[in-house]
Structure 1
């Protein structure tokens, strides 16, 4: 099927890098800028973080399209003789279910990097988007574009901590990530498990969260008490930590404090001649985060001097 242009002014125009779907609302309401494009000429957004769509929600939206038409066109870019979706995945799916052959669309110029950023922003604030899907979209962007977490944060206008906290979830073992995906544990639960720094322990704690219905706060307290070598009162004790008893309570307590402060696995190894503190990191961004944290106090002292 061919592209059918119903209104004037449907030529491709530069896409201004405004990073939120709501930014399209005003110009989208001006139908003079929209074309009707055949559905079978529109390809999905390859940078879409969302993999699961609510069938009932899409069906409801399809019924709304039949009754009220579409209030906001989708946004696409032209790639050779076809079009690629930038924004409006649910509307596009609903249009197909509603039996439409074509859909109003704004045609914009955008490179891969901008399309990836828009896909992230469009889904970032949606409560039903799984945190792992957000984390994967962040990590894929960082790898594909050689960007740092700080650079991505600047481009999509979010705190760097938002990106760092989500990306760190990808360091968890597969069983824990599966529990996040299925909703057995929340993002807050998962973050509380990170200081454990051991895959088996994290899996065992995740199982207990799901089985015993721990709150996020209770999980944080259990992790802290466990790392300190304490027992948890009024509930079954956490899994036994192998080798923990070989360290003095003072060393275990210090490891606990450092893990909670740094958000990373920390090992303190003591010998007759002294010892060493080992701080673990898994990638360059994690190293930069730790470096910034550890040096921040020194910079303040230097300025004061």
Structure 2
């Protein structure tokens, strides 16, 4: 049975056919990774692309290794394999990180250490999930890169955001060109009058920048919302331990047992 937590959701059909041709010639060179399930069945942990290609090649049997793991371990193994092969699109990667954080009670820093990734790369991947569904779909289809998505986050809450995403695809804009247009559209939203002659209610770039800097500093998901008279900052945490870490980071207090840096006169 396939792994229900498989982070990869899309498979390039041309690449699958190429792999199937290779398997017809050489066989499956790397075993699949399985875990045992009730009634003598097995669940696939890693190797779904190889399994699909082997079926296309007409194989009835494939080499496999059976391991014992828990659901989180199964997701981690599948995620690590796909990351090492660069098989995940940016949205699949961010969604897998979010699932591990939510279900495993991990901080972004702890997840980065477990996966051998930088904490910044985890944060950036998670931020892409804040984009509109239409923009996420373009990245999942490979029509926009993670770099494009990161640039578009500068227009979060701006009516130009989805329009620019479509334009980037239609005109084949580079990441740098997209960044330039994000700055231009942001400036337009700052000065464009609304129907009553007042400034547009689109979120100013300063708010998006503040949200990004807070998320980077606190190493968790942060949302900054602006109302007509006041704003709101929402900080996500998944455990009491992370709440304690966030509190200490906000007030500048060292964790127990951690050295405190002081300035000597």
TM-score by length of 1: 0.65
Residue 166 of structure 1 corresponds to which residue in structure 2? 125
| Compared CA separation, residues 169 and 281, structure 1 to 2 (3 A) | farther
Q: Does 1:284 align with 2:243?
A: no
Residue 101 of structure 2 corresponds to which residue in structure 1? 142
Q: Is the 8 A contact 1:205 1:239 kept in 2?
A: no
Gaps of 5+ in 2: 216-221
The CA RMSD over aligned residues, in Å, is: 3.9
- Cα deviations by residue, 1:65-124 (Å, 9 ceiling, x for unpaired): 333233222121111211111222222222222222222211112221111101111112
Gaps of 5+ in 1: 1-42, 232-236
TM-score by length of 2: 0.73
Residue 109 of structure 1 corresponds to which residue in structure 2? 68
Map 1:51-90 → 2, pairs under 5 A: 51-80=9-38, 81-90=40-49
The structure with the largest alpha-carbon Rg is 1
Map 1:86-235 → 2, pairs under 5 A: 86-198=45-157, 200-227=159-186, 229=187
CA distance in 1: counterparts of 2:206 and 2:154, whole angstroms: 13
Q: Is the 8 A contact 2:3 2:45 kept in 1?
A: yes
| Compared CA separation, residues 181 and 239, structure 1 to 2 (3 A) | farther
Map 1:3-22 → 2, pairs under 5 A: none
Helix, strand or coil at the partner of 1:303:
coil
CA distance in 1: counterparts of 2:53 and 2:209, whole angstroms: 51
Post-superposition offset of 1:266: 5.5
